[in-house]
């Protein structure tokens, strides 16, 4: 007789409460990086900054983002992630408080640098943490839910800070942000699982240098990074020009109304919430092509934005088409983003922090290029030129995604579920 076979050990799925903790904490963390954008006029007035130079506030937060991707996010592969997250949330609360009480421009800029640094480090660190804590067969679902929280936090940040500022000033907005992070700090410390110590035994600078080695050696990182670069360029082509188009005559919409269009994108984020499950099921390439097709299709309704003066029967009605285009654009972007992260995090389970850092460097480049291209296109040809540029980059991304599926099955996720 053969001895009875042992039942297969099926890893338990991540508890719903822990998944919500990752999503909410990630959303609150990333929101800190974007609170300043609708407050620039108030900051310029209080600190005597010229309107042409107050953009340095946003520049400092973005500089902090870049430093975090290179210097802090990889640390999760070297030290205890739970302890690192605890120290970062305390430091972030301190930086938010510093901004709230700043009395000089240098103090404000230093605080903004710290907010960008620590807000980004926490956001991307939590995504890597969630992926490490997930069972192999549910990484896509977990990353998708966490990234959904990030997307909603990013889209909501500008509206929330503007609303709080209207009630209690811009300092009140940053004080409220510090309180929110303090409220989430205790559940984070109590709820984050204790993971085994990362196996990496190299020094810090070798750890940072190994990020570029991962970029050079891993075809999945290369392919998915380039797709991310193009996707974030598309998103920034749209969002960078939208305010220029809607705030100027003949629309002349107030900033609160323009910011509300960002909330429309939450519907797109929720529509793409199941993306991770599809990746877990081995459908990454189909999801990729569908997401890229949505990015391209979005530009038709977006291009229908017409002047209410030149076309009084359609002008304000075209705002409904604008909202539809935003839903399609953000659904495609979110679905591709989750697919990309789910695939690259499977390539090296011992290096989630470095993989996220490398991937988000592509994001930073794409965002910058998209913003520059968008404003240049708007200056030369108005909204139609912006839509033409966005559609062209979207088509390039779709063609590249299809090519990757043919020549790099691993990067396309065609090897089946992990």
353 within some domain: yes
Residue 204 inside a domain? The answer is no
Query: Is there a single domain that holds both residue 342 and residue 244?
Result: yes
Is residue 73 domain-shared with residue 146, that is, in the same domain? yes
Tell whether 189 and 215 lie within a shared domain.
no
As given in the structure block, the two tokens for residue 231 are: 């996707």
Kindly state whether residues 233 and 327 are assigned to the same domain.
Answer: yes
pLDDT of residue 310: 47
DSSP letters spanning 57-73: HHHHHHHHHHHIIIIIG
Is residue 11 a part of any domain in this protein? no
In order of 94, 213, 339, the CA distances from 358 in angstroms are 27, 10, 16
Instruction: State what percent of residues in the chain have pLDDT above 90.
Output: 38
> Has residue 38 been placed in a domain?
yes
Contact 127, 146 (CB under 8 A): yes
Domain-ending residue, one of 198, 225, 254: 198
Please, which pLDDT band fits residue 411 given cuts at 50, 70 and 90? low
Contact status, residue 277 vs residue 144, Cβ threshold 8 Å: yes
What Å distances lie between residue 318 and 242, 247, 257, 313, 350, CA to CA? 14, 15, 15, 9, 49
CB atoms within 10 A of CB 93: 20
Q: Helical H runs in 77-196? A: 81-101, 105-133, 139-191
Taking only the tens place, the pLDDT of each residue in 12-49 is 688 889 999 999 999 999 999 988 877 877 888 888 88
**Residue 417 confidence (pLDDT):** 44
Instruction: Determine the Cα–Cα distance for residues 148 and 188; give it in Å rounded to an integer.
Output: 18
Query: How many residues in the chain?
Result: 418
Question: Same structural domain for residues 105 and 252?
Answer: no
Q: Is residue 2 part of a domain?
A: no
Distance from chain centroid for Cα 418: 24
Using a 10 angstrom Cβ sphere, with 0-12 exposed, 13-18 middle and 19 or more buried, the burial of residue 87 is exposed
Helices (H) and strands (E) in the chain, counts: 15, 0
Among candidate residues 198, 226, 253, the one where a domain is terminated: 198
Whether residues 276 and 320 share a domain: the answer is: yes
pLDDT of residue 93: 97
Question: Could you tell me how far CA 114 lies from the centroid of its own chain?
Answer: 18
Read off the CATH number of the domain in which 257 is found.
1.20.1250.20
pLDDT at 86: 94
pLDDT over 90 (residue 107): yes
Cα separation of 164 and 157, whole Å?
Answer: 11
* Shared-domain flag, residues 229 and 344: yes
Whole-angstrom distance, CA of residue 316 vs CA of residue 66: 39
For 172-230, the pLDDT digits (tens) are: 999 999 999 999 999 999 999 988 766 556 788 888 888 888 888 889 999 999 999 99
Query: Quick one: how far is CA 277 from the chain centroid?
Result: 19
C-alpha closest to that of 337 among 225, 228, 188, 200: 228
Write the CB contacts of 95 (distance below 8 Å, at least 6 apart in sequence).
111, 114, 115, 117, 118
Domain identity same for 278 and 418? yes
More confident residue, 414 or 119: 119
Q: Is the pLDDT of residue 346 over 90?
A: no
Question: How many domains in the chain?
Answer: 2
Same domain, 138 and 100: yes
Question: Residue 7 falls within a domain, yes or no?
Answer: no
Question: Which two three-digit tokens encode residue 209?
Answer: 């240098």
Q: How would residue 95 be classed by pLDDT, with cut points 50, 70 and 90?
A: very high
Residue-wise pLDDT tens digits, 372-410 = 888 888 889 999 999 999 999 999 999 999 998 887 666
Nearest to 390 by CA among 226, 240, 225: 240
Helix residue ranges, H only, 192-317: 204-217, 219-247, 255-271, 275-280, 284-297, 299-303
Q: What is the pLDDT of residues 253-294, one digit of tens each?
A: 776 677 678 788 777 777 666 787 788 788 888 999 999 999
| pLDDT score recorded for residue 10 | 41
Position of tokens 């977990």? 142
Q: Is residue 4 part of a domain?
A: no
pTM, rounded to two decimals: 0.78
Does residue 235 share a domain with residue 194? no
Domain match, 218 and 167 both: no
Report CA Rg, the chain: 22
Residues 181 and 294 occupy one common structural domain: no
Decide if 354 is inside a domain: yes
401-411 burial code (b ≥16 CB/10 A, e <16): beebbeebeeb
* Residue 366 structural domain: 209-418
In b/e form, how buried is each residue of 106-133, taking b as 16+ CB within 10 angstroms? eebbbbbbbbbbbbbbbbbbbbbbbbbb
**Does the pLDDT value for residue 313 go beyond 80?**
no
**Please, what is the average pLDDT of the chain?**
84
- By percentage, how much of the chain surpasses pLDDT 70? 88
Q: Regarding predicted confidence, which is higher, 4 or 112?
A: 112
- Of 168, 198, 228, which closes a domain? 198
Q: Give the CB-side neighbour count of residue 176, counting CA atoms within 13 A.
A: 16
């Amino acid at each position: 007789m053969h001895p009875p076979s042992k039942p297969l050990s099926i890893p338990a799925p991540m508890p719903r409460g822990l998944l919500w903790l990752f999503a909410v904490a990630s959303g609150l963390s990333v929101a800190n990086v974007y609170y300043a954008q609708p407050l620039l006029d108030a900051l310029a007035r209080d600190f005597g900054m010229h309107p042409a130079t107050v953009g340095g506030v946003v520049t400092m937060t973005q500089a902090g983002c870049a430093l975090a991707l290179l210097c802090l996010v990889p640390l999760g592969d070297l030290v205890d992630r739970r302890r690192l997250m605890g120290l970062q949330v305390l430091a972030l609360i301190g930086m938010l408080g510093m901004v709230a009480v700043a009395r000089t421009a240098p103090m404000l800029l230093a605080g903004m640098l710290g907010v960008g640094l620590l807000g980004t480090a926490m956001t991307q660190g939590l995504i890597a943490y969630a992926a490490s804590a997930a069972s192999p067969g549910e990484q896509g679902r977990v990353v998708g839910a966490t990234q959904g929280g990030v997307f909603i936090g990013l889209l909501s940040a500008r509206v929330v800070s503007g609303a709080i500022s209207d009630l209690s000033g811009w300092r009140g907005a940053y004080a409220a942000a510090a309180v929110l992070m303090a409220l989430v700090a205790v559940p984070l410390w109590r709820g984050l699982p204790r993971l085994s110590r990362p196996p990496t035994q190299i020094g810090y600078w070798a750890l940072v240098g190994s990020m570029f080695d991962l970029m050079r050696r891993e075809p999945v990182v290369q392919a998915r990074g380039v797709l991310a670069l193009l996707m974030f360029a598309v998103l920034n082509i749209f969002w960078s020009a939208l305010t220029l188009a809607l705030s100027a005559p003949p629309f002349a919409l107030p900033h609160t109304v323009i910011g509300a269009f960002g909330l429309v994108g939450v519907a797109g984020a929720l529509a793409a919430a199941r993306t991770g499950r599809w990746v877990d099921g081995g459908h990454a390439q189909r999801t990729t092509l569908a997401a890229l097709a949505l990015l391209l299709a979005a530009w038709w309704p977006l291009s229908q934005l017409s002047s209410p003066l030149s076309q009084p029967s359609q002008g304000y009605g075209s705002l409904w088409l604008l909202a539809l285009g935003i839903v399609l654009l953000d659904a495609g972007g979110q679905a591709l983003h989750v697919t990309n992260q789910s695939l690259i995090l499977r390539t090296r389970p011992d290096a989630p922090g470095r993989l996220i850092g490398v991937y988000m460097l592509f994001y930073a480049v794409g965002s910058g290029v998209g913003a520059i291209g968008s404003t240049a296109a708007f200056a030369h040809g108005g909204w139609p030129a912006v839509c033409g540029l966005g559609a062209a980059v979207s088509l390039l991304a779709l063609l590249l995604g299809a090519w990757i599926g043919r020549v790099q099955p691993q990067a396309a996720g065609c090897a089946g579920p992990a």
